Amino acid sequence: MSAVAVAPDRTLDVQGLSKNFPVPGASLLHRQMLRAVDDVTFTLKQGTVTALVGESGSGKSTVARLISRLYTPTGGSILYRGVNVGAMHGKHQLLEYRSRVQMIFQDPFSSLNPVKRVDYHVSRPLLIHKIVPKADVLDRVHELLDSVGLVPAEEIAKKYPHELSGGQRQRVAIARALAVEPEVILADEPTSMLDVSIRLGILNLILDLKRDRNIAFLYVTHDLASARYVADEVLVMYAGQIVEHGPTDDVLQRPMHPYTKLLLSAVPNPEAGLHSHRLAARPKTDLAVDLVGCRFAERCPLAVASCISDPPVLLERRSHHLVRCPIIDPST
Amino acid sequence: MTGLLEDGVGPSPAVRQETLIELRELVVDYVLSGRRVRAVDHVNLDVGKGEIVGLAGESGCGKSTIANAVMQLLRAPAQVTSGQVLFHGEDLTKLSTEQLRKFRWRNVSMVFQSAMNSLNPLMRVGDQFVDMMKAHERISKNDALARAADLMETVGMDRSHVRSYPHELSGGMRQRTIVAMALTLEPELLIMDEPTTALDVVVQREILQQVQDLQRELGFAVLFITHDLSLLVEFSDRIAIMYAGEIVESAPSDELFRRPLHPYTVGLMNSFPPLSGPLERIVGIAGAPPDLAKPPSGCRFHPRCVHCDPSSHALYARQTTERPVLREVEPGHFVACHLLDTP
């Protein structure tokens, strides 16, 4: 590994990441490609939560899967502490990377083997990655369960997944991720399948882990309010591209991109009422078509002719606040 | 106590003259190998003509069981143990299979969360409208297709989509199609059980705005079931909160939003981080919903309640042994909580 000198808090750098998928049903000779992720760049830092928000199909989960190497990128690179992950070879290096970068999935009902007890799920990574001597595994399992609020740990460890609630199962998934002492956790909609009264517990756990273990989180979600609650930085994704990126409060309180504004106005707001913001129903962008201009143009209330013809560039329009829209006025 | 709201409570007295659906002391049990799990426990709930009533609660609280009871869709192991479901005063549990077949879609129709996946993948959308219409009235295929196209238009879709197959439509468009289908026979009540939970916020808002416009135009009543309380406050006239099979609070939406009284409702309201204003750590509700096979004694919420404290002996004794009763504490505002009936 030839590590380039990087700032110590930059755990993971994603640079110009792209992923194309073949369009199903298209002819093999003229294969159309769907640009699910297009030139995505960001950095995950120690002890920081970065939220990746967008609607379904925006490519946000694909980004998490690319980082976890469930998919191979079409272009761009992922640097872990300055080392290009794509150039890693051999079982040892990959095993090492996978123990540093862990993923938590949306559905805690399908991510745990139903015929195995909790202690099996949490001890497996300890054994595979040889984190502790065999004799100490059970103690560590109890410690881990305890650290994610699953008490009494000795009792929970003996349970099967079906004996646990959704929130408890998600905590088991988090304990399993923590077992290998990761530096990065990719959480893909970790609360969206949970009951409202349980969600906060998981969000608070993320905040605690960020603080206590200095973990870098990528929090993938469509829920802007929860992103505001846990994240230090927000990336807004639309049709495979980052359209806005900046400190959480700046992006969510003073959004610049018309898409971010649309998303924010669609969030239920009891104070305002359902018809407080009229949304224009517009077609969704077809990702398979090679659009020259802005991908949001056909839904955008501000669109002008140049939006269709000129590709917008992600630019810093306010301090640390990047926007992919040339026509907005950053001062408003 | 019969009907939950008898004295014309709601945003506008005009729309509450007539009760459309009335649940009276409804009890639904799931009976499995001799074990009885009470999913709905003596629930009283009215939906007036043209009224939008929201029913909120977490998974397993019995809200979907209520929807299925109104549609008379409960199948074993679920059974209505006692109580009544009245539609215009008529007991639905007494209807024959044929009467029920006519009743569904015509009088009450339902859109549920996975409805968008219930379209037949091998049939064009329009033909599925035709089948449903033909089951209820004499109508030619061409007339039925024309009406299907009109309906698609009213829910914001292109007329040409009657010729589409379900896989050619996005999730949001399929759910719109289901809403159009549910409104085809102009039912008096539309039940929506988590209709937009699987959809994006933007699509969710578009569909609900459309439903609200149609509701104002056509005057049907809506029973809207969701776990998303803030959405419910925006959309409904009146809200009932369910916990562990019971209604624990019910009030006009504005009133419930401004002055929630049951600790569970307060906890639910505090479970959503704010999108604006100051941000501090919030805790939501401790613990998890109870296992209804062995519900807690006394108030079912007491193990999670912040106001349940063993050092206040008298109150604690009541909270842990006595079931609180739903009482009207303000005009139109009903709460089942010992805190409010202990002087």
CATH number at A185 reads: 3.40.50.300
- The whole-angstrom distance between B174's CA and the closest CA on chain A is 14
Rounded Cα distance between B180 and B176, Å, is 6
Q: Which of A163, A274, A287 to mutate to test the interface with B (most CBs of B within 10 A)?
A: A274
Whether omega for the bond prior to residue B77 falls within 30 degrees of 0, making it cis, is yes
Q: Is the pLDDT of residue B116 over 90?
A: no
User: Helices then strands (H, E): number in chain A?
Assistant: 11, 12
Q: Which residue has the higher pLDDT, A84 or A268?
A: A84
In a domain, B194, yes or no: yes
B175 domain-assigned: yes
How confident is residue A194, by pLDDT bands cut at 50, 70 and 90? confident
| Position B253 in a domain | yes
Reported as a pLDDT band with limits 50, 70 and 90, residue B11 is very low
Q: Which range has highest mean pLDDT (A42-51, A162-171, A192-201)?
A: A42-51
Q: What is the average per-residue pLDDT within B259-269?
A: 94
Query: Which chain A residues are closer than 8 Å to B272 by Cβ?
Result: 196, 225
Domain that holds residue A83: 10-24+33-323
* Of the candidates A288, A212, A208, A297, the residue with the CA atom closest to the CA atom of residue A258: A297
- Which whole number is the average pLDDT over A140-158? 92
Question: Is 90 exceeded by the pLDDT of residue B271?
Answer: no
For residue B165, the model assigns a pLDDT of: 93
Element containing residue A102 per DSSP (H, E):
strand A101-104
Contacts of A189 in chain B (CB under 8 A): none
Mutate to test the interface with B, among A58, A195, A249, A277 (most CBs of B within 10 A): A195
Report the C-alpha gap between A76 and A14 in whole angstroms. Answer: 8
Q: pTM for the full model?
A: 0.85
Chain B within 8 Å of A266 (Cβ-Cβ)?
Answer: yes
Contact B257/A225, CB-based, under 8 Å?
no
Average pLDDT over residues B105-115: 87
Cis peptide before B343 (omega within 30 of 0): no
The residue whose two tokens read 């995950």 is A44
In whole angstroms, how far apart are CA A199 and each of A205, B24, B84, B270?
Answer: 10, 34, 36, 11
A207–B276 CB contact, under 8 Å:
no
Tens of pLDDT, residues A208-221: 999 999 999 999 99
Report, as an integer, the average pLDDT of A269-274.
65
* Separation CA A15–CA A37 (nearest Å): 12
- Judge whether residue B159 has pLDDT over 60: yes
Establish if A257 belongs to a structural domain: yes
Q: What angle do CA B252, B257, B261 make, to 5 degrees?
A: 85
pLDDT at residue B247, as a whole number: 96
Can you give the pLDDT at residue B7? 40
pLDDT at B10: 41
What pLDDT is stored for residue A209 in this prediction? 94
Number of separate domains in chain B = 2
Cβ distance of A274 and B208 shorter than 8 Å: yes
Last residue of a domain, one of B184, B206, B222: B184
Look at residue A25 in the predicted model and tell me its pLDDT: 62
Which range marks the domain in which residue B168 is found? 119-184
Bridge-based pairing of strands B19-32 and B78-87 is antiparallel
Residue B14, pLDDT score? 43
Best of B113, B234, B237, B254 to disrupt the A interface by mutation (most A CBs within 10 Å)? B234
Q: Are B99 and B240 in a shared domain?
A: yes
Contact B230 A199 (CB under 8 A): no
The DSSP secondary structure of B134-181, one letter per residue, reads HHHS---HHHHHHHHHHHHHHTT--GGGGG--GGGS-HHHHHHHHHHH
Say whether both B259 and B230 belong to one domain.
Answer: yes
A254 contact B CB<8A: no
Tokens for B94? 């007494």
> Is the same domain home to B136 and B27?
no
What pLDDT band is residue B1 in, cutting at 50, 70 and 90? Answer: very low
Phi-psi region of A329 (alpha: psi -120 to 50; beta: other; left: phi over 0): beta
> Does B138 score more than 80 pLDDT?
yes
Q: Report how far apart, in Å, the C-alpha atoms of B14 and of each of B11, B42, B93, B219, B234 are.
A: 9, 28, 29, 12, 20
Determine contact, residues B291/B60, Cβ cutoff 8 Å: no
The pLDDT confidence band at residue B73, using thresholds 50, 70 and 90, is confident
Among B184, B200, B234, where does a domain finish? B184
Percent of chain A with pLDDT over 70: 89
Cβ atoms < 10 Å from Cβ of A2 = 7
**Count of residues in chain A:** 332
- Let me know if B311 is exposed, middle or buried by CB neighbors in 10 A (0-12, 13-18, 19+): exposed
Whether residue A144 lies inside any domain: the answer is yes
With beta carbons under 8 A apart, name residues in chain B contacting A252: 275
Q: Does any CB of chain B come closer than 8 Å to the CB of residue A198?
A: yes
